[in-house]
């Protein structure tokens, strides 16, 4: 693809972009727009920060919510009212809910919005102790943004679910949108990769909450779940907040909530829980898509324009370099002194242009603005005769 792109559009690239080891600066990709703060191949766009992963697989920028110790549990987890959680911390680096609905909710003290979450759980190996049939069979749940306004990724013993399929004891088969890996009451998992009871199960979840502007829904949000490494929720766009039996439409909730584990009266153990907060689609200006807030995008564009303009020694000079530098400035914000200086410099340069190679380099930049409708086709500079 790269080869084809170079053949088809090589006239758009500055010479320095094609020289190995050279650093290209300037405008040559499609310009910023209402929901993109950066141009294509933008050299000013922030670079990703470095993250390392330790021997346990925990990224260096993760918040470790449970590391196996009692101290970690007490520091990070509480009940639904902020009091110490009643769940049991075990000697083997796990914590557990038991039977009888006596334990209550176990939630994080800190609240989160969009995030990447890693969490592991296990049911007792003896399936007769798991707690019954159907939704009483090892039920718990991972509530993103809490049980009141949030979204539940179901925890259940779903390995043995159907006599017809596996010939196991005749448990009552669970409904598909309530089995392990389901976005509860909405979407069943794509497949069932659950291991046998007694083995650890792993959820890796990417959660983006819905985006609202006042009462207008901009994006429904999404849940992606890898279950024991297998994709079971493929960027599922939520239809509502989790409830039972009914469809509860999405509504503007708080933008943060606790990570909450459900007490459904069944024995389930958890371990190795970490979370990486992610920027909301609405606020993410570096990785923005069409859900980004246009006002924030424009503010970012103006900030970049101001930064680039400040680097130009003499914005009034009619040089090729100035025309190209000011073209980059107006690609972010075609307004005010930037617009005036660009057009003045361009007209002055047009009256006294350089040689053919220099004109070509200026026109390459002007072409980007023309194809993005920042300036008209007539702005191009004619080659010398």
Note the residues at the interface with Mg ion (CB under 5 A): 139, 141, 262
CA distance 367 to 286: 25
Helices 336-351 and 320-332 cross at an angle (nearest 10°) of: 150
Question: Please, which residue, 177 or 321, has the CB nearer to Mg ion?
Answer: 177
Of 198, 172, 176, nearest to 189 by C-alpha is 176
- Residue 244 burial (CB count, 10 A): 10
Question: Please, which residue, 158 or 262, has the CB nearer to Mg ion?
Answer: 262
Question: Please, which residue, 142 or 365, has the CB nearer to Mg ion?
Answer: 142
Provide the CA 277 distance to its chain's centre, in angstroms: 9
Minimum separation from the CB atom of position 72 to Mg ion (A): 24
Question: To which H or E segment does residue 370 belong?
Answer: helix 356-371
Minimum separation from the CB atom of position 242 to Mg ion (A): 9
Minimum separation from the CB atom of position 240 to Mg ion (A): 16
Q: Is 265 left (phi over 0), alpha (psi -120 to 50) or beta?
A: left
Q: Please give the residue whose beta carbon sits closest to Mg ion in the complex.
A: 141
State how far the alpha carbon of 122 is from the alpha carbons of 119, 130, 270, 272, in Å.
11, 11, 7, 12
Minimum separation from the CB atom of position 98 to Mg ion (A): 15
Question: Please, which residue, 141 or 221, has the CB nearer to Mg ion?
Answer: 141
Q: Which residues contact 313 (CB under 8 A, 6 or more apart)?
A: none
Minimum separation from the CB atom of position 157 to Mg ion (A): 11
CA distance 253 to 217: 11
Minimum separation from the CB atom of position 121 to Mg ion (A): 11
Reading the block at residue 234, the tokens are 């493929």
Question: Please, which residue, 141 or 189, has the CB nearer to Mg ion?
Answer: 141
CA distance 365 to 185: 53
Question: Please, which residue, 142 or 369, has the CB nearer to Mg ion?
Answer: 142
Question: Please, which residue, 263 or 341, has the CB nearer to Mg ion?
Answer: 263
Residue pair 38/46 in contact (Cβ under 8 Å)? The answer is no
Minimum separation from the CB atom of position 154 to Mg ion (A): 5
Residue pair 201/180 in contact (Cβ under 8 Å)? The answer is yes
Minimum separation from the CB atom of position 135 to Mg ion (A): 7
Question: Please, which residue, 118 or 264, has the CB nearer to Mg ion?
Answer: 264
């Amino acid at each position: 693809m790269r080869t084809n792109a170079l053949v088809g559009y090589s006239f758009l690239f500055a010479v320095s972009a094609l020289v190995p080891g050279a650093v290209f600066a300037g405008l040559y990709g499609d310009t910023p727009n209402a929901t993109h703060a950066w141009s294509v191949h933008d050299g000013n766009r922030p670079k990703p920060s470095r993250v390392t992963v330790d021997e346990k697989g925990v990224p260096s920028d993760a918040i470790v919510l449970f590391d196996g110790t009692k101290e970690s549990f007490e520091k990070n987890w509480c009940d639904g009212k902020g009091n110490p959680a009643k769940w049991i911390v075990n000697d083997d680096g796990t914590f557990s809910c038991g039977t009888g609905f006596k334990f209550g909710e176990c939630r994080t003290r800190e609240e989160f919005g969009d995030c990447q979450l890693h969490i592991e759980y296990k049911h007792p190996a003896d399936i007769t102790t798991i707690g019954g049939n159907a939704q009483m069979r090892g039920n718990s749940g991972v509530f993103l943004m809490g049980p009141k306004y949030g979204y539940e990724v179901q925890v259940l013993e779903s390995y043995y679910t159907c006599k017809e399929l596996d010939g196991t004891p005749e448990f009552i088969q669970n409904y598909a949108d309530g089995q392990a890996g389901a976005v509860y009451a909405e979407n069943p998992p794509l497949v069932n990769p659950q291991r046998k009871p007694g083995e650890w199960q792993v959820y890796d979840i990417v959660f983006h909450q819905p985006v609202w502007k006042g009462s207008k829904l901009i994006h429904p949000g999404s849940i992606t779940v890898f279950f024991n490494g297998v994709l079971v929720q493929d960027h599922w766009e939520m239809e509502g907040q989790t409830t039972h039996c009914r469809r509860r439409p999405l509504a503007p909730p708080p933008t943060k909530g606790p990570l909450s584990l459900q007490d459904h009266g069944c024995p389930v153990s958890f371990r190795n829980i970490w979370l990486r907060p992610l920027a909301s689609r609405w606020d993410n200006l570096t990785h923005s898509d069409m859900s980004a807030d246009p006002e924030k995008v424009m503010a970012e564009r103006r900030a970049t324009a101001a930064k680039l303009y400040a680097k130009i020694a003499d914005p009034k000079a009619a040089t090729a370099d100035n025309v190209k530098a000011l073209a980059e400035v107006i690609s972010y914000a075609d307004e005010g002194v930037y617009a005036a200086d660009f057009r003045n410099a361009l007209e002055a340069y047009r009256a006294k242009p350089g040689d053919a190679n220099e004109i070509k380099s200026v026109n390459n930049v002007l072409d980007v603005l023309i194809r993005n409708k920042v300036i008209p086709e007539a702005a191009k500079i004619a080659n010398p005769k």
